[in-house]
Amino acid sequence: MLSGDAIARALTDHTTGLAITPLLDADQQIGATSVDLRLGPDLILTSRATGATSFDPADAEEFLARREAAQQYIRRPLGSSIYLHPGEFAIARTLEFLTVPSTMSGEALGRSSWGRLGLIIATATLVEPGFRGTITLELTNVATVPIVLYVGMRIAQIVLFRVEA
């Protein structure tokens, strides 16, 4: 696992191939062993079902039609709020775009401060060597009250590891 100091050095040494952009405040975003990632502006909200609804992948055409009908794509400007109500699910992505060199891998994790409030942040946790892109976040409110999220707020973190040849 790379330390925060090692991550900061790798980000400033362009020969490492590691890039996280935009990293607006390294002092705030780089911790002892991770980099905080912020909520990006693009979300897919899944509407709550009313009545009997199911997603059965056995009928691919019906599955796609139901999924499309249940999901709404939204884009919000930096700083704007998003209310995630109890039982609601959203797919989001990080504001930061990552370039991970072939000599590193990572693990994306939700921040525990959100977990204590009932926000489950599941990700495709393994970030493979050579990855380029934003990290997908699956957000679920398992609490009993709405949770207010803001575009640009710290919501997840990535821990980086060196990969042996």
In a domain, 64, yes or no: yes
164 is annotated as an active-site residue: no
User: Could you tell me if 155 and 110 are in contact, meaning their C-beta atoms sit under 8 angstroms apart?
Assistant: yes
In a domain, 53, yes or no: no
Total count of domains within the chain: 1
Domain that holds residue 129: 4-44+58-162
User: Could you tell me if 135 and 156 are in contact, meaning their C-beta atoms sit under 8 angstroms apart?
Assistant: yes
Predicted confidence (pLDDT) at residue 126 exceeds the cutoff of 80: yes
pLDDT at 100: 97
In a domain, 65, yes or no: yes
**Listed residue (59, 43, 75) closest to 155, CA to CA:** 43
Query: Of residues 61, 62, 68, 138, which has the active-site annotation?
Result: 138
In a domain, 52, yes or no: no
Please give the residue that has the higher pLDDT: either 30 or 25. 30
User: Does pTM surpass 0.75?
Assistant: yes
CA–CA dist 121, 156 (Å, integer):
8
pLDDT at 66: 67
DSSP 30-80: B-SS-EEEEEEEEEEEEPPP-SS----TTSHHHHHHHHHHHEEEEE--TT-
Q: How confident is the model at residue 122 (pLDDT cuts 50, 70, 90)?
A: confident
Burial of 101 (0-12, 13-18, 19+ CB in 10 A): middle
Tens of pLDDT, residue by residue over 77-113, are: 999 999 999 999 999 999 999 999 999 999 999 998 9
Tens of pLDDT, residue by residue over 46-62, are: 876 555 566 677 877 87
According to DSSP, residue 134 is labeled P
User: Could you tell me if 121 and 155 are in contact, meaning their C-beta atoms sit under 8 angstroms apart?
Assistant: yes
Q: What is the CATH number of the domain that holds 108?
A: 2.70.40.10
Which of 26-30, 43-47, 128-132 is predicted most confidently? 128-132
In a domain, 129, yes or no: yes
**Listed residue (139, 94, 80) closest to 114, CA to CA:** 139
CA–CA dist 40, 127 (Å, integer):
18
In a domain, 49, yes or no: no
In a domain, 50, yes or no: no
